[in-house]
Structure 1
Amino acid sequence: MKSNVSGLFEILILVSINFQTKSMKLVKRILLLLILIIGVVVYLNFPKLNIISGYAAKNMASGVFVANRTAASLAENDNNVPLIELAETEVDVKQKWASASVYGLMNRKALYREGLGTVLVNDDYDESKSITSPVRNQLTDTIPYPYGQASPKDSTFSEIDTQQLDKAIATAFGNPEVQKTRTLLILYKGHLLVEKYADGFTKDTRILGWSMTKSVLATCFGILEHQGKLEMEWPAPITEWKKDDRKEITLNHLLRMQSGLEWDEDYSKISDVTRMLFLDSDMSRPQKEKALIAKPTEIWNYSSGTTNLLSGILRQQFRSHQEYLDFPYATFIDKIGMYSMVLEADIVGNYVGSSYAWASTRDWARFGQLYLDKGKWNGEQIFDSKWVNYITKPTQHSDGTYGAHFWLNANGKYPDVPRDLFSCNGYQGQYVFVIPSKDLVVVRTGLAENPEFDVNKFLSEVVKSVQ
């Protein structure tokens, strides 16, 4: 009996050892497979690592040092998107920089520069070089918001259906995991009608406009035209183009994105736009160096490179870098009280007009009100009223969706919204909508756009509230 028990015990030990051996082999195989999978993922995405870590570092630095948000909130929300979430970030509050890398690879660093926001640095960046910053002119007044810095008036309008308006607000903030609305503000006839903020955001929180910045940059050209210093039909002042067919490209062609120049605006891969935003020192150059793929006006091709080329052209209009930096602030940004706005610049000091303007929701609304009022602000004509007609004229081949650095509803992209709507649109659903027929300016910011955030449904409900 004892021998049987002993034999059985030995068998159990052998089975256990065999099982453990097989288990260890299985674990090793699983680990090896995981390593291979990670290796394949890294190999396939290695060219993107520079972009991933660059985006993460830049977004983190600007979020902390321009928007005054916490690194934890930015990591959990803004940088928690496919691929970007792979990056690990570090922030130095004292030295004012943020860095990011992916599995320890492709470390990128973004530095804060007073008055110019943050910039991704590379081997071209010289930290010892003095930095020129824009001069700001911030005044106090007793004029109610939006035309001044005082508190907005308590205004009621008999023609506003408040229940319907509440429904629109609920639509904007409903299902926060999908809609991801952060801020909402509505002006009606120059009065604050609605203002609502998600947790962590206030009336003073700066919001990155992304491509809404394009409309800000374009406004500078409207002001120069109003001052009689240039005309939209002038040939673009690019020396390199004078010897070939690109000499036919005008400022108008550039503002309407119909220059015919080659450009790849694809953010899902290494492309013209991602190389420009996350690798180039001088962002005014990439579009300048592109060849024609069509004659001007033959095609419409949305291009952030075109806007940054225009920023470089804007710089050429001034005798000094200081004058260029001061111009947007002195002529309209500070003049209409958009004191929170910060235009970020590239390494060589060009405003990144395609993407990097920050401002509070209230100040983005001021910008919309300036356009609703056709350029007149507290009695002063900032730009000619005809400029609004110009930027809202549909550009050929855009299917009525684009004017001159502003988006349009001319062909009913939003079918239940007035056709005279025009807007500034930015990545992840940043919007300044201007609806002249309803005397409305609507600002919505967040982390989702169509179809997750149904623009047509939201705006139609806002419009229905105006009887």
Structure 2
Amino acid sequence: MKIFKRILLVLVLALFVIGYLNYPKLNLIAGFASKNMASSIFIGERTAASVAENDNNVPLVKLADVKIAKNSTTGTVFGLMPRKAVYREGLGCVLVNDSYDENKPYLQPNRTKAIDSSFPFETSQPPDSLFDHVNFPKLNAAIAHSFSDAELKKTRTVLVYHKGKIIAERYADGFNKESRILGWSMTKSIIATLYGMLAYEGKIDLDMRAPIASWQKDDRKNITLNHLLRMQSGLAWDENYTTISDVTKMLFLASDMTKVQAEKEAVAKPTEIWNYSSGTSNLLSGILRDRFANRQDYLDFPYKTLIDKIGMHSMLLEADMDGNYIASSYSWATTRDWAKFGILYLNKGNWNGTQLFDENWVNYITTPTKHSDGVYGAHFWLNAGGKFPDVPRDMFSANGFQGQYVFVIPSKDLVVVRTGLSENPNFNVNEFLSEIISALKE
């Protein structure tokens, strides 16, 4: 009996220690589950059951229980650490804290649908009647292969655009052409493009020092916009999603995400290291905000100059609790609208006859950043170092968590969009792209 009591006591103590050590994580777990559920329902128009079974059915996150209200969700873990996410029209969903006033008015971006959203996809001819050099059975087999082994690959949508036409398009059950998909870090490439457009208009110099007042008294004063776009500022940052880190605290605890990276110390001089940082992208969002005379102009700018201008009318940029665009992680769009973003880059900034950024901007974002081993340019990913050996070296892409991709391959006049819940290597990018390319016989 005494032995049994001792064993029980040890077990209780062990559970206490485990609970004590992991209690802070409950905040993040509940926060992720609540935010992901809210955005998936209120923006992605998914069912709560589907999100719980698929998107939130991952280690630790699946421990959370999420309650759904009219315009909000609340997540808890074992009834502890409630985290509420609120939907705001035009700004998406956001985790809120006790200081948030749901009755307080807020600004939202002005949108326009004046641009014909059918370009560049309008056609009455089937693609297999347009191109003799495309082996369509082989192409369709490649697309089918990307959807096979659903438990591992978890592909949701694929679109292939070649020589001005969609030549393949497929959607998993529960998704279609109208389904908005979370791009995660593909949002980083959106914020970079806005800087490229400002540079083209002569309104910004990428070699200018970042206008952060607190940096002007130390070595951080030498950090430029170029350094930030290339993730080579030398600032401390921990991009670890499996624990309590800089990025998880920012995404699930911060009310103003534009400040988090700015408060970090320098651990190296600019260009000495390459360190991928979501905090840097949100810092760039804050710098962008401060260039405008008022908050409304900042909110309107991405849509007026880029998103609605190229007919990406489904896109929605989510904002933090203080109303700043979360440029690191949260933008939603249909697969076709994500493809439009890739097509803009395939055409070197020209959209239906209008030049939105300098042709040389593509050279800039695809020039490998020092110390990145040829995988990173300026808020875009590259194949310059041959990471994917069977894919052309000129391929560049906007990448997002869990395998969201907009691939641009200029040498093949090709844009490929893939979305899902699994990334390389479970979803084999080299195999996926090489199979598609092999169907192009030219």
TM-score range, shorter chain: over 0.9
- Tell me, in whole angstroms, the C-alpha distance in 1 between the residues paired with 2:124 and 2:185: 28
Q: TM-score, normalised by structure 2?
A: 0.96
Aligned to 1:139: 114
Q: Is the 8 A contact 2:140 2:168 kept in 1?
A: no
The within-5 A match list for 1:353-372 is: 353-372=327-346
- Report the CA distance between 1:466 and its aligned residue: 1.1
Deviates further, 275-284 or 169-178 = 169-178
SS at match of 2:54: helix
Q: Structure 2 regions of 5+ residues with no counterpart?
A: none
- Report the CA distance between 1:36 and its aligned residue: 6.0
Deviations 1:259-295 (A, max 9, x none): 0000000111111000000000100111001111000
- The alignment status of 1:212 with 2:173, answered yes or no, reads no
Query: Of the two, which has the highest radius of gyration?
Result: 1
SS at match of 2:266: coil
- Tell me, in whole angstroms, the C-alpha distance in 2 between the residues paired with 1:266 and 1:464: 36
Aligned to 1:439: 413
Deviates further, 37-46 or 223-232 = 37-46
Deviates further, 340-349 or 43-52 = 43-52
The within-5 A match list for 1:325-340 is: 325-340=299-314
Aligned to 1:113: 88
Aligned to 1:342: 316
From 278, 284, 289, give the equivalent of 2:258. 284
Aligned to 1:406: 380
Q: Is the 8 A contact 1:214 1:355 kept in 2?
A: yes
Instruction: Name the CA shift for 1:196/1:37 in 2 (closer, same or farther; >3 Å).
Output: farther
Q: Is the 8 A contact 1:147 1:377 kept in 2?
A: no
- Report the CA distance between 1:39 and its aligned residue: 4.1
- Tell me, in whole angstroms, the C-alpha distance in 1 between the residues paired with 2:42 and 2:293: 31
Aligned to 2:75: 100
- Report the CA distance between 1:154 and its aligned residue: 2.5
- Tell me, in whole angstroms, the C-alpha distance in 2 between the residues paired with 1:287 and 1:153: 50
Aligned to 1:61: 38
From 89, 105, 130, give the equivalent of 1:130. 105
Aligned to 2:171: 197
Q: Is the 8 A contact 1:429 1:448 kept in 2?
A: yes
Alignment length, in residue pairs?
Answer: 438
- Tell me, in whole angstroms, the C-alpha distance in 1 between the residues paired with 2:437 and 2:155: 19
The within-5 A match list for 1:155-234 is: 155=127, 156-234=130-208
- The alignment status of 1:83 with 2:55, answered yes or no, reads no
- Tell me, in whole angstroms, the C-alpha distance in 2 between the residues paired with 1:461 and 1:33: 56
- Report the CA distance between 1:129 and its aligned residue: 2.3
- Tell me, in whole angstroms, the C-alpha distance in 2 between the residues paired with 1:66 and 1:72: 15
- Tell me, in whole angstroms, the C-alpha distance in 2 between the residues paired with 1:153 and 1:254: 45
Instruction: Name the CA shift for 1:38/1:195 in 2 (closer, same or farther; >3 Å).
Output: farther
Indicate the RMSD between aligned Cα atoms, in angstroms. 1.8
Amino acid paired to 1:179: K
Deviations 1:392-436 (A, max 9, x none): 000000000000000000010000000000001111000000000
Instruction: Name the CA shift for 1:31/1:196 in 2 (closer, same or farther; >3 Å).
Output: farther
- Report the CA distance between 1:332 and its aligned residue: 1.1
- Tell me, in whole angstroms, the C-alpha distance in 2 between the residues paired with 1:195 and 1:440: 14
- Tell me, in whole angstroms, the C-alpha distance in 2 between the residues paired with 1:426 and 1:153: 33
Q: Structure 1 regions of 5+ residues with no counterpart?
A: 1-21
- Tell me, in whole angstroms, the C-alpha distance in 1 between the residues paired with 2:413 and 2:7: 63
